[in-house]
A and B are shown apart, each in its own frame.
Chain A
């Protein structure tokens, strides 16, 4: 008879509600886009980040269609901070996205990828003068965050003896909490209007755009309707009062992905608005409020385009029984690779069907830190050493915000539409980590 690890569960109906899924259901993913997860791990090691070209293109096309079918002048700007792997940025640029960056490093990365200055939006509260100067010279779209930046730009305009086209970042109440009021100028209390008046009076900068980014993982399309309405009303007013021609409004990013937020118990399919719902809310607000020429509509969508295209494969290394009876699996990927673990409950798939009873379990990473919990409560059948788990969706923010901590960060691969697997980033090694370290002479 086939061996199964001996397993016993008390039949406890309270458990069923704590652990959600029915006791015997198993979520299985044996392959990604037709490539076996076991083969991937065999060839590229474990853990392993895997991205799907197919999903990236499907997502981009879904959002692009939703907007462009309703509004003629739409442009997506890939939010570098969401995932700035060279190959991922290249993919988005090939699809038609331009670049949205928030630091001099990201700006340099976009330029290194061959993106021209005019195809870069430069956002953020911290733009050192040198970076600003380069961006101005190269014709980047600069979104001003504060009054000091107006001064810096005016100085640059004088030095170069030019007028600089600029946009300002705005913030406002859109009925959502928390309100991102730290960035840019507030519309509701007239700060934004006053900043524009200041720009007008300085006579060195020309306002050509209005920008806002109201938050991330926004579960209501209505917040975007409010945002767009406020931006368009401001546009109408400053066009009339100062004679500026506002070429574009940029409504930022923030659309939710099909991830499961902690504390939200309905399925993402139920709570996450569709691309069409977001587009409908935004485009209607433009048509209903705009006076004069229709502006271009810019979007800086990050998460919603890449989260579901990213997977983390990880292998079971060991297991133990905890004093409360829960089974504890130790896997080779920790929370240092999964920044978004702090607010998501990821889906965790098994590589195949496992026989036997499922037990209340917990999945922990290898970090030797109590906080290294990938899944605190999950029903799992008896897994084997080497069983491959697929953690999903992890495509947004985890690559850019991952931390090197006690182990090397793993390989990252891309599966193309022909099922070829390409290495996009090599795992770290001792040399890459100590490369910039120096030992003072007296310690040598």
Chain B
């Protein structure tokens, strides 16, 4: 998983050395990537964010699903 290589700086600019590509992220994206690196599943990530942000899991689910799809499109996860 290329995502494991991702280095994120304090301005939320991320870099993948082997691709030579840069990305920009927001805070919650950074959090999802941390959780993915820790090995959490999609369902676990949804539960974690739902608790941390006090939001309905049904709403968070749509956003996480959407975000993971974009990571796949970028080739960062399988």
Binding site for B on A (CB under 8 A): 1, 3-11, 319-321, 323-325, 327, 356-357
B51 is an interface residue with CB less than 8 A from chain A: no
- Decide: B28 and A8 in contact? CB cutoff 8 A: no
Known: A3-B55, A325-B74. A10 touches B22 (CB 8 A): yes
Binary A-proximity of B3-39 (CB < 8 A = 1, otherwise 0)? 0000000000110000001111111110110000000
8 contacts between A and B (CB under 8 A): A1-B53, A3-B55, A7-B67, A8-B23, A10-B21, A10-B23, A11-B13, A357-B26
**Quick one: which of B13, B24, B26, B69 has the most chain A CB within 10 A?**
B26
In Å, the complex CA distance between A121 and B71 comes to 62
Contact status A6-B23, CB under 8 Å: no
Chain B stretch 38-72: residues in CB contact (< 8 A) with chain A:
53, 55, 63-67, 69-71
User: Which of under 10, 10 to 19, 20 to 34, or 35 or more describes the interface residues of B?
Assistant: 20 to 34
Chain A binding site: helix, strand, loop or mixed by DSSP?
loop
What B residues does A9 contact at CB under 8 A? 23-24
Whether the Cβ atoms of B69 and A357 lie closer than 8 Å is no
Distance (Å) between the CB of A367 and the closest chain B CB?
A: 23
Cβ A6 vs Cβ B24 within 8 A? no
Question: Can you name the residue of chain A whose Cβ is closest to the Cβ of B19?
Answer: A10
Once the chains are docked, how many angstroms separate the CA of A102 from the CA of B7? 66
Complex CA gap A7/B30 in Å reads 9
Interface residues of B, Cβ cutoff 8 Å to A: 13-14, 21-29, 31-32, 53, 55, 63-67, 69-71, 73-74
Q: In the docked arrangement, what's the CA distance between A11 and B16, Å? A: 12
Which residues of B have CB within 8 Å of A4?
A: 26-28
Specify which chain A residues have a CB less than 8 angstroms from the CB of B13 in the assembled complex.
11
Does A321 contact B74, Cβ atoms closer than 8 Å? no
Known contacts A6-B29, A7-B25; 7 further A-B pairs (Cβ under 8 A): A1-B27, A4-B26, A11-B13, A11-B21, A321-B65, A321-B66, A325-B74
A16 to chain B, nearest CB (A): 13
A320: chain B residues at CB < 8 Å are 66
Whether A6 contacts B22 by the Cβ 8 Å rule is no
Contacts of B71 in A (CB 8 A): 8
Nearest 5 interchain pairs by C-beta: A6-B29, A325-B73, A6-B67, A3-B53, A6-B28
Chain A residues whose CB sits within 8 angstroms of the CB of B55 once the complex forms:
3
**Contact across chains for A8 and B25 when beta carbons are under 8 A apart:** yes
Report the bound CA distance from A320 to B55 in whole Å. Answer: 20
Least CB distance, B52 to chain A, in whole angstroms: 8
Contacts of B74 in A (CB 8 A): 8, 10, 325
> Which residues from A are CB-within-8-Å of B63?
5-6
- B73 and A324: CB pair below 8 A? yes
Alpha-carbon distance A334/B57, docked complex (angstroms): 31
Tell me the complex Cα distance, A4–B25, Å: 11
How far, in angstroms, from A399 to B29 measured CA to CA in the complex? 43
Evaluate whether A5 and B28 lie within 8 angstroms (CB atoms) in the complex, with A10-B21, A11-B22, A11-B23 already known.
Answer: yes
A391 to chain B, nearest CB (A): 24
Contact (A5, B70) CB under 8 Å given A10-B21, A10-B22, A11-B23: no
Q: Cα distance A3–B31 when bound, in Å? A: 11
Cα–Cα distance between A1 and B73 once the two chains are bound (Å): 28
Q: Is the CB of A8 within 8 A of B27?
A: no
Residues of chain B contacted by A356 (CB below 8 angstroms): 26
